[in-house]
């Protein structure tokens, strides 16, 4: 584009100068006509390039990547919140201590994938009762959170 | 009797004083009464700080370090101060800086003004001599050279102004490439997943194809229009007025179509996507808080902390991006204002001298507006996109 502008300006300035200093009569008219043709040829140069297919590239090749580290931090924070809430729920409902591990997706909307619950069943005697409590907790957590719950 | 009565009164007043002291809250008690709000505020600010630290702002920080106005500024600290409301804009000093800049640029153009005025006066004197003792051809040559001299001075000044304009567009493109990934990340994290999916191709298209269209076609066409204004008046035999009109028309159509089509499309799509995101998130919050009998409210609160935190940071990043945009566009904008003012003043001052110089100066002042329009179009589209991204998730929380 810069070359085109310089070429155009140069040709027109040259033609104007030549017109000024050219002699009168038929020679002067001939010179004037030739300078006009030259200016016209320079003016239509971009059209020739367009017909040849030499267009500026307007296609989009790159894309914007998300910040995976930030998504991971959000997922981690949400998981920590879930763990505290589930632990509080189990303690309030069943009076049991527990260790919770919640796994969420690392991309929005950070859906829950799995909840792992390690119960402290020291105060509960009897295998049947323990199994009953674990099953109830598992069903309740699965129903409320909508993801797989593993109770150990 | 009187003594015992006095004792009773004293005892009664003492008990009343003790009772009043017990009821009126002390400083510590008063502080304790407001601490839940303060604790919540501190917890929220702590969450914001953690989220800010986990956000990748290295590229933005590197870009800021290249700018003299923002050298030494920490992105994270600046964003946090904007969120907490500690950052403020001094409008008085900003206006003063703008006026100083325009005045300085105007003063730097004074030598060029003096040259143009001197040449125009000389041209006017020779014009009157053409009818006297000078031959017509010699007078035409002198007129031609004086017109070239004025054109050279004006174009030399114009090159500096155009260079600032092209630099501003390059800076804006760089800013788009840095800021938009951050904004889209925060938008997705704040619940605007659909909106992020809608805006992603749009901002990529804008920072790539649209900027390329303007830098490759629209702005060079406006430069050609200015050049044709100059060379078209050089010779009576070679005229380029109609070509200039054609190029101006092409420039106007491209600017109008880009603004109209892209702007409207982006606005409508962004709003509909934001509505969908808002309804989805409200449904999630309703299900969560409505179904869990005991901890439902805690659950939805935990989700809110990340979503609200991301939304708040997104708004702060958007505001900061607008400041960066203003810093990139303000200087060339003021340069153009000063340049057009300079040309108009020159045209007014040289009009009494006669000749083509005054008309040329006035025409260049008008035609340089097309370049300014192209620059402002890109900056407006960038600003519009930032505003849409910032406001699109406003319907959610």
User: What DSSP element (H or E) covers A55?
Assistant: none
CA distance A12 to chain B (A): 6
| A31-42 confidence digits (pLDDT tens) | 878 887 887 788
Positive or negative: CA dihedral B234, B236, B238, B241: positive
In tens, the pLDDT along A105-149 reads 888 888 889 999 998 888 777 888 888 888 988 998 888 888 888
A60 contacts B205? CB cut-off 8 A: yes
Packing angle, helices B219-231 and B241-257, rounded to 10: 160
Question: What confidence category does residue B322 fall into, taking pLDDT thresholds of 50, 70 and 90?
Answer: very high
**Which residues of chain A make contact with B193, given a CB cutoff of 8 A?**
108-109
The per-residue pLDDT for B175 is: 92
- Is-contact B204 A63, C-beta < 8 A? yes
What local confidence, expressed as pLDDT, does residue B278 receive? 64
Contacts 24+ apart (CB under 8 A), B47-53: B47/A77, B47/B305, B47/B306, B47/B309, B48/B80, B48/B83, B48/B309, B48/B312, B48/B313, B49/B80, B50/A73, B50/A77, B51/A70, B51/A73, B51/A74, B51/A77, B51/B306, B51/B309, B51/B310, B51/B313, B52/B76, B52/B79, B52/B80, B52/B313
Q: Are strands A98-104 and A148-151 parallel, antiparallel or unpaired?
A: unpaired
Q: SS3 for A129?
A: helix
3-state secondary structure of B354: coil
Give the residue with greater pLDDT, B5 vs B210: B210
Joined tokens for residue B140: 């035409």
Say if residue B38's pLDDT is above 90: no
Question: Does B321 score more than 90 pLDDT?
Answer: yes
> How many inter-chain contacts (A to B, CB under 8 Å) are there?
146
Q: For B202-247, how does the pLDDT look when each residue is reduced to its tens digit (9 = 90+)?
A: 888 888 888 888 888 888 888 888 888 887 777 666 677 788 888 8
Closest CA of chain B from A93, distance in Å: 9
Banded model confidence at residue B396, pLDDT cuts 50, 70, 90: very low
Give the number of C-alpha atoms closer than 13 A to the C-alpha of residue A48, restricted to the C-beta side. 7
pLDDT of res. A62 = 64
Q: What is the pLDDT of residue B275?
A: 67
Question: Are B347 and B361 within 8 A, CB to CB?
Answer: yes
Q: Which residues are CB-contacts of B298 (< 8 A; sequence separation ≥ 6)?
A: A85, A88
CA distance to partner chain A, nearest, from residue B70 (Å): 24
- H or E stretch covering A8: helix A2-21
Tell me what pLDDT residue B73 has: 82
B290 or A102, greater pLDDT: A102
pLDDT of residue B102 exceeding 60, the answer is yes
CA B385 – CA B266 distance, rounded (Å): 8
Residues of A with Cβ-Cβ distance to B204 under 8 angstroms: 60, 62-64
Nearest-Cα distance to chain A for B105, in Å, is: 26
Tell me which chain B residues have a C-beta less than 8 angstroms from the C-beta of A89: 292, 294-295
Q: What is the pLDDT of residues B267-300, one digit of tens each?
A: 887 777 766 666 655 555 554 444 433 333 434 4
Report how far residue B29's alpha carbon sits from residue B161's, in angstroms, rounded to the nearest whole number: 65
Q: Phi then psi for A66, rounded to 5 degrees?
A: -75, 160
Q: Is the pLDDT of residue B142 over 80?
A: no
B94, B329 contact by CB (below 8 A) = no
- Chain A, nearest residue to B230 by Cα: A9
d(CA B374, CA B333): 11
pLDDT tens digits for A64-98? 888 899 999 999 988 988 898 899 988 888 888 88
Pick from A42, A53, A55, A49: nearest CA to A13:
A42
pTM: 0.79
- CA dist., res. A72 & res. B173, Å (int): 28
Range with the largest mean pLDDT of A9-18, B124-133, B170-179, B299-308: B170-179
Count other Cβ atoms within 10 Å, centred on residue B352.
10
Residues of A in contact with B196 (CB under 8 A): 108
Percentage of chain B surpassing pLDDT 90?
A: 11
Of residues B11 and B176, more confidence is placed in B176
User: pLDDT per residue over B48-72, tens digit each?
Assistant: 888 899 999 999 999 988 887 777 7
Average pLDDT of chain B? Answer: 78
Q: Per the CB < 8 Å rule, is A56 touching B302?
A: no
Average pLDDT, integer, range A96-107: 89
Q: A147 in helix, strand or coil?
A: coil
Q: What's the rounded Cα separation, in Å, for the pair B302 and B306?
A: 7
Backbone angles phi, psi at A151, to 5 degrees: -110, 130
pLDDT of amino acid B31: 46
Cβ of B238 within 8 Å of Cβ of A58? The answer is: no
User: B244, B242, B243, B180: which is closest to B211 by C-alpha?
Assistant: B180
pLDDT at residue B171, rounded to an integer: 92
- Give the C-alpha distances (Å, rounded to integers) separating B8 from A1, B22, B234: 105, 21, 115
Interface test with chain B among A74, A83, A110, by most B beta carbons within 10 Å:
A74
Contacts of B391 (CB under 8 A, 6+ apart): B274
Helix (H) or strand (E) holding B90: none
Is residue B33's pLDDT more than 80?
Answer: no
- The CA–CA distances, whole Å, from B164 to B328, B331, B335, B340 equal 10, 8, 8, 15
Confidence class of residue B81 from pLDDT cuts 50, 70 and 90? confident
Q: What's the rounded Cα separation, in Å, for the pair B232 and B225?
A: 10
Specify the DSSP element, H or E, that contains A95.
none
């Amino acid at each position: 584009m810069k070359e085109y502008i310089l070429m155009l300006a140069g040709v027109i300035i040259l033609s104007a100068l030549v017109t000024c200093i050219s002699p009168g009569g038929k020679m002067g008219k001939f010179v004037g006509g030739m300078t006009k043709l030259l200016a016209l040829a320079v003016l239509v140069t971009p059209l020739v390039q367009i017909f040849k297919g030499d267009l500026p590239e307007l296609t989009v090749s790159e894309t914007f990547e998300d910040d995976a580290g930030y998504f991971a931090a959000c997922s981690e924070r949400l998981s920590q919140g879930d763990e505290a809430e589930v632990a509080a729920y189990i303690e309030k409902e069943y009076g049991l201590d527990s260790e919770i591990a919640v796994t969420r997706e690392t991309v929005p909307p950070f859906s829950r994938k799995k909840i792992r619950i390690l119960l402290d069943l020291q105060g509960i005697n009897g295998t049947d009762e323990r199994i009953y409590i674990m099953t109830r907790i598992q069903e309740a957590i699965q129903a409320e959170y909508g993801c797989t719950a593993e109770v150990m | 009797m009187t003594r015992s009565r006095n004792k009773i009164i004293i005892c009664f007043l003492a008990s009343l004083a003790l009772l009043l002291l017990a009821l009126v809250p002390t400083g510590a008690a008063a502080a304790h009464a407001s601490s839940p709000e303060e604790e919540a505020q501190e917890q929220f600010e702590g969450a914001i700080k953690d989220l800010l630290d986990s956000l990748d702002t290295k590229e933005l920080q590197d870009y800021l370090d290249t700018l003299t106005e923002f050298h030494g500024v920490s992105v994270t600290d600046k964003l946090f101060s904007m969120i907490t409301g500690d950052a403020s804009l001094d409008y008085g000093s900003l206006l003063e800086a703008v006026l100083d800049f325009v005045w300085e640029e105007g003063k730097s153009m004074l030598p060029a003004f003096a040259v143009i005025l001197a040449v125009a006066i000389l041209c006017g004197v020779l014009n009157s001599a053409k009818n006297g003792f000078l031959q017509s051809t010699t007078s035409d040559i002198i007129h031609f050279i004086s017109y070239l001299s004025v054109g050279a001075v004006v174009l030399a000044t114009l090159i500096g102004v155009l260079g600032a304009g092209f630099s501003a567009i390059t800076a804006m493109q760089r800013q788009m490439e840095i800021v938009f990934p951050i904004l889209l990340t925060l938008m997705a994290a704040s619940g605007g997943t659909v909106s992020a999916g809608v805006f992603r191709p749009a901002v990529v298209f804008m920072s790539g194809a649209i900027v390329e269209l303007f830098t490759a076609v629209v702005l060079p066409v406006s430069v050609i229009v200015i050049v044709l204004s100059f060379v078209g008046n050089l010779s009576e035999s070679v005229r380029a007025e109609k070509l200039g009109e054609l190029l101006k028309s092409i420039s106007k159509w491209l600017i109008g179509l880009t603004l109209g089509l892209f702007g409207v499309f982006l606005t409508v799509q962004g709003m509909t996507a934001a509505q969908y995101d808002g309804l989805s998130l409200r449904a999630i919050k309703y299900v969560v808080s409505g179904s869990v009998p005991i901890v439902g409210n805690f659950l939805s609160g935990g989700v809110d902390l990340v979503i609200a935190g991301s939304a708040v940071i997104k708004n702060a990043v958007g505001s900061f991006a607008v400041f960066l945009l203003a810093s990139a566009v303000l200087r060339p904008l003021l340069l153009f204002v000063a340049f057009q003012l300079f040309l108009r003043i020159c045209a007014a001052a040289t009009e009494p001298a006669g000749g083509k110089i005054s008309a040329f100066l006035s025409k260049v002042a008008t035609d340089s507006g097309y370049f300014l329009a192209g620059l402002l179009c890109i900056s407006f589209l960038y600003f519009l996109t930032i505003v849409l991204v910032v406001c699109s998730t406003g319907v959610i929380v």
